[in-house]
Structure 1
Amino acid sequence: MTRVTDHGAGVQSIQVPIPDNPLGHTLVYLLDTDRGPVLIDTGWDDPASWDTLADGLTACGTSAAEIHGVVITHHHPDHHGLSARVREASGAWIAMHAADASVVRRTQENPPERWYAYMADRLTAVGAPEEHVAPLLAALTSGKARPLPGFDAAVPDHDIVPGELLDLPGRRLRAIWTPGHTPGHVCLHLEENHPAGLPGRGRLFSGDHLLPEITPHIGLYEDPDDATVTDPLGDYLDSLERVGRLGAAEILPAHQHAFTDAASRVRELLTHHEARLTDLLTHLAHPLTPWQLAERMEWNRPWNQIPYGSRTIAVSEAEAHLRRLVKLGRAEAVAGSDPVAYVAV
């Protein structure tokens, strides 16, 4: 059954399912404007997800054909996946931060084989065992490299400019750049009085940046053509503090449920990441590769129960934490190690 929630003052949300994912669904928001309804995110590109979105729009008193525009918080397929279908149905424009729009273009301009080779090289460099890299190499040699999720996603029409109001007549929706989960993640600050009179400065569509009960994945910004050493976790922590200072009355996230007291949640997340970094230093008393560190990190299940794809994501998160420790001067790479190993300073 399609679940729709009315958040008041022309804001509704639709639970759009994510197939085979413990998150369950993406909260797609519908915002009324003087030029027609606008979606914030769209959900995963899957027939059942599309049917749920279409049914939800009907329950909200509109349809996909009537959508005026689509604002994407970030490029991940559970947010951007259905954008092309919405545009096909309505002719709606699609807006995204330039950094994530670049990821969409890069994904489509590089053939799947390039991505498989890149991932195999990256995993080998961080100490992944041969059995983990082998499926990627087998797909390459057999010519059966499948397109990545999001390979057919819509290329956005407009760039979201941080700090500026979006062109939505009748509404005041300002883009807040919050990199970390992705390089171009944005939160969207609805600078209007809360419909229930809650104290604070409007409402914040927080995407995956700020969630009520879980922490978003912070991995690396992958780019086969750019060797820049980024610091996604540092970006995320800085962005958290920026959002905490907004003083929004209510947070409307892309997963789980709406909540208040963003500042308290920000403090919890900052404390969580500092504790995690400190814990990792105990593991790094002796040199470890990123893969070995990921094996020792605390996840939501034991390492031997984590599926193949999730292990690749986990080691990316381990790398992001290592980069933060190195930047803070609390860890360093061991000279001459291959694959690279790190040790606490």
Structure 2
Amino acid sequence: MTEMTGTTFDHGGGVRSLRVPIPDNPLGHTLVYVVDTDRGPVLIDTGWDDPTSWDALFAGLTACGTSVSDLHGVVITHHHPDHHGLSGRVREASGAWVAMHAADTAIVRRARGTRPDRWYTYMTEKLAAAGAPEEHLTPLRTARRRTLPGLSPALPDREIVPGDLLPLPGRRLRAIWTPGHTPGHVCLHLEEDHPAGLPGRGRLFSGDHVLPEITPHIGLYEDPDDATVTDPLGDYLDSLERVGRLAPAEILPAHQYPFTDAPARVAELLTHHESRLTDLLALLATPLTPWQLAERMEWNRPWEQIPYGSRNIAVSEAEAHLRRLVKLGRAEAVAGSDPVTYAAV
């Protein structure tokens, strides 16, 4: 990989990346990839919808020798605002098409059609059912009903079909459906020889599915109008194994940095989640609500130091792990408990 500027990199073979900052987020930035095609450059993800992020995207494309107006298309790995946020603005400036998996497009459509009041009510009810204390719920009950980030995203105009080659003239980019982080998350397999001759099967744009040092958030798929009992962690573990079998020569993730030996990283992530499920079973020797379980789980800092919004994410992750344990028959809800508690079987 050859560094072109402080924030823009040439990965060889007509693939470059640029860093688009995420405001007030420890991840720092999203890696947006620029893939050359016979019809013009195509972006993989766009970054957060923020003036600073837009300026970084604009400057990064200029450093790559192109511009927003030259873009032919935008391929979105998943609907989260640090990936899909600038898609609408990019489309307005370039006329580029925007493609996304149907499951995440459905979420975008619902988000656009759901008033902020409904989201606040839904979040309050979900957290109350998870056993959140009243002092945590009060700010949600009394908050000014402002529009939340990611509630007015652009509707894609093309569908990414799993297993299909995307319409990138002169390139072979195949969609690999990898649900877990979101229901419609896709990785994108560039079925071309690695430009540096690394052994393996091409390169994989992994979005948030496989990252070199951190584990992506796996929480419940949030939808105020859908009571389907999903299993996001089960989806994620199945998707991980699919990527491990693919064995690409190099992973190009949306955060941190590119890396090799995808099977080894997949094995680490599978081991991590199995270990975490085992630890949770030990905690569930005593019945706990999802909130109580989240309080006792290991995070990157003590629970007392976890910010308010991050606690909501942590509880969602605890619930996803509980769903998996229940599906495996290793835990169950305690009959008659309110809020519902869970115990190891």
Same fold (TM over 0.5): yes
Query: Which residue is equivalent to 1:271?
Result: 271
1:237 matches 2:237: yes
1:325 matches 2:329: no
Alignment of 1:295-314 (within 5 A): 295-314=295-314
Between the aligned partners of 1:316 and 1:286, the Cα distance in structure 2 is: 20
Between the aligned partners of 1:268 and 1:81, the Cα distance in structure 2 is: 30
Within the candidate set 77, 95, 108, 2:81 is matched to: 77
Between the aligned partners of 1:169 and 1:5, the Cα distance in structure 2 is: 23
Query: Which residue is equivalent to 2:340?
Result: 340
Write out per-residue CA displacement over residues 123-150 of structure 1, whole angstroms, 9 at most, x where no aligned residue.
00010000111111112xxxx2111211
Query: How many equivalent pairs are there?
Result: 341
- Does the 8 A contact of 1:290 with 1:319 survive in 2? yes
Within the candidate set 98, 103, 123, 1:99 is matched to: 103
- Does the 8 A contact of 1:96 with 1:158 survive in 2? yes
Query: Which residue is equivalent to 1:161?
Result: 161
Between the aligned partners of 1:167 and 1:148, the Cα distance in structure 2 is: 33
Q: Normalization by structure 2: what TM-score?
A: 0.98
Query: Which residue is equivalent to 1:26?
Result: 30
Task: Give 1:322's aligned amino acid.
Answer: L
Between the aligned partners of 1:150 and 1:115, the Cα distance in structure 2 is: 12
- Does the 8 A contact of 2:72 with 2:96 survive in 1? yes
Alignment of 1:105-116 (within 5 A): 105-116=109-120
Task: Give 1:10's aligned amino acid.
Answer: G
Task: Give 1:112's aligned amino acid.
Answer: P
Write out per-residue CA displacement over residues 271-299 of structure 1, whole angstroms, 9 at most, x where no aligned residue.
00000000001100010000000000000
Query: Which residue is equivalent to 1:63?
Result: 67
Write out per-residue CA displacement over residues 26-64 of structure 1, whole angstroms, 9 at most, x where no aligned residue.
000000001110000000111111101100000001011
Q: 1:2 to 1:55 in 2, by over 3 A?
A: farther
Between the aligned partners of 1:134 and 1:171, the Cα distance in structure 2 is: 52
- Does the 8 A contact of 2:111 with 2:152 survive in 1? no
Q: Secondary structure at the match of 2:174?
A: strand
Between the aligned partners of 2:337 and 2:91, the Cα distance in structure 1 is: 50
Query: Which residue is equivalent to 2:125?
Result: 121
Write out per-residue CA displacement over residues 165-213 of structure 1, whole angstroms, 9 at most, x where no aligned residue.
0011100000000000000000000000000000111000000000000
* Structure 1, unpaired ranges of 5+: none
Alignment of 1:187-266 (within 5 A): 187-266=187-266
Query: Which residue is equivalent to 1:88?
Result: 92
Shift of 1:152: 2.4
Task: Give 1:18's aligned amino acid.
Answer: I
Deviation beyond 3 Å, 4+ runs, structure 1: none
Q: Secondary structure at the match of 1:337?
A: coil
Query: Which residue is equivalent to 1:178?
Result: 178
- Does the 8 A contact of 2:44 with 2:76 survive in 1? yes
Identity %: 80
Q: Normalization by structure 1: what TM-score?
A: 0.98
Between the aligned partners of 1:104 and 1:152, the Cα distance in structure 2 is: 8
